[in-house]
Chains A and B, each alone.
Chain A
Amino acid sequence: MGRIRSDALRMGLACGLTWIASAAPAAARHYATPEFSRAESRPKTLAVLPPRAEFVKAKVVMSEEMVKECEALEAAALDRIGVLLQEKGYTVRPLPPGTVNADPDLRELIFRVNERYEEEWQRFVRKPGRIREGRYNLGEDPVEIADHLGVDGILVPRVVAVAPSKGVKTLSIILGGYAQGYVRLDLSVVSGETGDLEAFYFTTVTAGMKGLTKNPDRIMEKAAGSALRRYPEVNETLPYEESTEGRETAEEEVDEEEVLEELEVLLGPEEEKENKE
């Protein structure tokens, strides 16, 4: 490797180490559609999908993923999110992995939603401001889940936990900073009527290795509390500017039988064609 590339690599590595190990806790943020803020499209009954957590112990030479410990974080996240939303007046149906895996149809639907979520996440995390435009949609599967469970919407939680080792902390002090462990919690609210991403709440809170491994409940209480601090109460409407163009407003409820009967009349009888098909 040439000298120039080597120097650039050193700089990049030093910056990267500082970044990954010294992440300061950021304030919670959220993005929502105007309709969500006005409680027009905000689901009142929510199914919380099984959270997915990734937990990394950042070391100087090699990090390691704490695979087993993820399970405790996921369970704690699911519990705290459910409790906090219920306190705000929502009807919440948390879905632990055991419940999902016992229902093959539900398991299938959640698999599909997670796949589509990963795809859309790559887009909306780059341009979260465009969530306000109702730009992102997760397809029909959230609608099917909502129908299957009898809810208005679904909430997709994601957790990333990074805990620096003592070696990383020492090095970061040498670099002039202080490495902090942290947990980032992402909560995405998806409409059970349209599959639209209606709101995205996220936060980053500090967390040490001890807390993450010995007391995940307390850490997730802190993270969920921060992420949902500005989540509106169930009937609360928030002031918002006029919605941008291009977003369809909710249709009025129409009688299903009425629609079908009217079409029968409009189409007229065509027995021959039906038999052919």
Chain B
Amino acid sequence: MESRTAIRIRRLAVPLLPVLFSLASPALGEGMYEPVPLKDHERHLLTSSNEYEEKFERWGLRYHDPEVDALVARIGRSLQPEPTDAYIRYRFFLIRDPLPNAFALPDGQVYVHTGMVAWLDNEAQLAGLLGHEINHAAGHHGILSFRNVRRTAITGMILGPYTLGLSDIFLILALLGYSRDLEEEADLRALEPALAAGYDLREVPELFDLLARDFEGIQPRRSTKWLTHPQLEDRSRYLRERIDGWPGGIEFSSLRTEAGAYQRLTRPLAHLTVDDLIRSDYPRSATVLAQRLVDRDLADPSGHLALGDAFLALGPGEAYAPEATLTKREKKERQRERVRSTREEREAAMLETEEGRATLARHMAAAAEAYREALDLDGALAEARRGLGYALLRLGDEREAARSLMQYLKMRPEAPDRAAVLDELRRISQDLREGQKGDQDGKNPE
């Protein structure tokens, strides 16, 4: 899945990506971990990189949670090397985006998506991720890749073709990947600092197992030749091999994962990510993440609320099933369908089939159960009351739906969606009135 941030950059770069991939050498070689002086034309590009911090803030993309910010910064600082150049200053930020991703700019800015933090299990996995990104900056991968692409482009120009411009090369490289060699280098070099910081390295390959799961069925597997990143399965494999063959062996009993503290601290962010996934039309991912929240703390009503919301959003769509496999063609078709049709059109198409209607009923029943669980734990949870109302409505139980929605409005007189809820209640009222009238006329015997 592509993050929103990547989509924004791709708008300008999409027609130009084949140029980048075809002109850039796939086998760049090692990064440089000693000082790399900048050339004149590179200084301005680095200045632009610096300005992204302010731009992301201005656009409201930065996510601020003092505790999670502190967590990410603490882990990052425990892994970062001494900067080799004055233009590198490591700092760590969260970007509000529900899809799992992270990127680093050549000046040491490291951005982690909220979606990534939500999906990770523990600090050790986050350490593996941050170590990888730090190595992109420490190894000057951005600058080296830029020089390589530029050199190839100039060479190409001399030989004949004219190259196209690319919108902010550093950001594109950071988001869409350097060469496979540099990505692999960043993966492997992340291990030693993580171990030195006391983290259990066995968690790092787990990160890629997690990322390899395609909940929405829209990530067709591409030939390795065309990938900038190694395949996720390969990354798990070579990391495990490196860990298993560690010189002198590793004493795992003394290493930590810090799962409990991590999950506690990041739970609100995970809730937010469920909401964001729903809003971004990734309900299958939302359902899986919400189920994890419930499984980790059955006594937390907000976990059940999130699960209810996810099932409600899923509607007649299929839930994620690990055993189900889609072909590459099917995944590509799903991707295209998401752009061709609106959400409402896709749902309407599914509801034309009996299977779709049965799936809807199943998911609405699951949503209602989750909302009721939430209300059993916290009767004052107004959002669960609203969710239950909508789930019952879709199950055809208008009376109980109306009761729930009316209770919601009583609990939240200033609800921002008051008008929408009243609209539904007005429709239900009309239906009930017509139903009663039909009964009185003897046309609709019960």
Contacts and interface: CB of A to CB of B under 8 A. Distances in A.
A54 B279 contact: no
B60 A1 contact: no
Contacts of B160: 10
B349 interface: no
Interface of B: 4, 7-8, 11-12, 15-16, 18-19, 22, 44-45, 48, 51-52, 54-55, 57-61, 96, 146, 149-150, 153-154, 157, 160-169, 171, 276, 279-281, 339-342, 344, 372, 375, 388, 399-400, 402-404, 406-407, 409, 416-420, 422-423, 425-426, 428-429, 432-433, 436
Interface string A96-115: 01001100000100111011
A259 B426 contact: yes
Question: Considering residues B19, B149, B167, which has the most beta carbons from chain A within 10 angstroms of its beta carbon?
Answer: B167
24 contacts: A16-B164, A17-B163, A50-B58, A61-B157, A61-B163, A62-B165, A62-B166, A63-B168, A67-B168, A70-B55, A97-B58, A114-B59, A118-B7, A120-B342, A123-B342, A135-B342, A143-B419, A171-B162, A259-B429, A263-B402, A263-B406, A267-B403, A273-B400, A277-B388
B60 A13 contact: no
B238 to A, nearest CB: 28
Given A65-B171, A97-B60, A139-B279, 8 more contacts: A62-B153, A62-B165, A65-B168, A115-B276, A143-B416, A259-B429, A262-B429, A277-B388
A4 interface: no
B157 A260 contact: no
Interface in A104-144: 107, 110-112, 114-116, 118-120, 122-123, 126, 135-137, 139-141, 143-144
Contacts of A277: 372, 375, 388, 403-404
B173 to A, nearest CB: 11
Interface string A161-194: 0000000100100000000000000000000010
B48 A60 contact: no
A144 B22 CA distance: 46
A273 to B, nearest CB: 7
Contacts of A168: 165
A63 B432 contact: no
A19 B423 CA distance: 49
Contact of A147 (B7, B60, B279, B419): B419
B92 to A, nearest CB: 20
A220 interface: no
Question: Considering residues A68, A74, A160, which has the most beta carbons from chain B within 10 angstroms of its beta carbon?
Answer: A68
Contacts of B164: 13, 16-17, 20
Contact of A16 (B16, B51, B279): B16
A247 to B, nearest CB: 13
Question: Considering residues A13, A110, A126, A267, which has the most beta carbons from chain B within 10 angstroms of its beta carbon?
Answer: A13
A143 to B, nearest CB: 7
Interface of A: 1, 6, 9-10, 12-14, 16-17, 20, 50, 52, 54, 56, 58-68, 70-71, 74, 97, 100-101, 107, 110-112, 114-116, 118-120, 122-123, 126, 135-137, 139-141, 143-144, 147-148, 160, 168, 171, 193, 251, 254, 256, 259-260, 262-264, 266-267, 270, 273-274, 277
Contact of B344 (A126, A137, A264): A137
A263 B375 contact: no
Nearest to A65: B168
Contact of B167 (A50, A65, A137): A65
Contacts of B55: 67, 70-71
Nearest to B96: A111
A251 B423 contact: yes
Contacts of B57: 101
Question: Considering residues A10, A110, A267, which has the most beta carbons from chain B within 10 angstroms of its beta carbon?
Answer: A267
Contacts of B61: 111
A148 B416 CA distance: 8
Nearest to A71: B58
A52 B420 CA distance: 29
